[in-house]
Amino acid sequence: MAGGLLPGGRNARFSYRRPPMHDINVTPFVDVMLVLLVVFMITAPMMTQGVDVSLPEVETNPMSDSAEPLTVSLKANGEIYLEARQVNLGNLPARLKAITKVRDKTMILVRADKRVPYGQVMNVMASLQEAGLVNVGLVTEPPK
């Protein structure tokens, strides 16, 4: 009985244990973050939103801009979409002005079906200019 107790009342057979660690184990956190990164890398290309239009094929240089642009789409039947919502040509400048109040230096991409008359594309461009947007790009597809 005398050999089992150490001074201070501790039991001798449990004296080999290490003191508790005060560091945070970040390995599970890194594992979760890597899994999320892979999931987002796989799903991000599938989340492209927009309106299905048949774009003209033109050879151009790709755009390199970090800000997310707004998209105005013109379908072959004459419907106009701001992002994924259908809008009238008369309402387009007011909606764009409201968006530019929130987002400074907004870039607009115009996606027009190749069967849309040139005059209708110019009407949309005039609406963009009326809204005060001058940073406008036309979306095309590369030739096959």
What does the H/E/C string look like for 99-123? HHHHCCCCCEEEEECCCCCHHHHHH
Task: Give the E-state strand segments of the chain in sequence order.
Answer: 70-74, 80-82, 85-87, 108-112, 136-138
- The pLDDT-based confidence of 11 (bands split at 50, 70, 90) is low
- The pLDDT-based confidence of 30 (bands split at 50, 70, 90) is very high
pLDDT at residue 22, as a whole number: 79
Residue 47 has pLDDT above 80, yes or no: no
* Residues 34 and 72 placed together within one structural domain of the fold: no
pLDDT at residue 16, as a whole number: 65
* Residues 58 and 28 placed together within one structural domain of the fold: no
What distance in Å separates the CA atoms of residue 15 and residue 75, rounded to the nearest whole number? 78
* Residues 71 and 110 placed together within one structural domain of the fold: yes
Residue 2 has pLDDT above 70, yes or no: no
pLDDT at residue 62, as a whole number: 65
72 within domain boundaries: yes
Indicate the average pLDDT of the chain.
Answer: 79
Tokens of residue 103, six digits:
């987002």
* pLDDT top residue among 63 and 113: 113
**Residue that the structure tokens 């003209």 belong to:** 56
- The percent of residues in the chain predicted with pLDDT above 70, rounded, is 75
Q: Enter the pTM of the model.
A: 0.54
What distance in Å separates the CA atoms of residue 139 and residue 76, rounded to the nearest whole number? 15
Q: How far is CA 6 from CA 9, 13, 14, 19, 144, in A?
A: 6, 10, 11, 17, 84
The arithmetic mean of pLDDT across residues 107-135, rounded, is 87
Tokens of residue 23, six digits:
């560091």
Residue 97 has pLDDT above 80, yes or no: yes
What distance in Å separates the CA atoms of residue 124 and residue 55, rounded to the nearest whole number? 16
Residue-range definition of the domain harbouring residue 16: 12-46
* Residues 57 and 121 placed together within one structural domain of the fold: yes
Q: Which residues contact 97 (CB under 8 A, 6 or more apart)?
A: 131, 132
* Residues 133 and 75 placed together within one structural domain of the fold: yes
pLDDT at residue 63, as a whole number: 57
* Residues 58 and 38 placed together within one structural domain of the fold: no
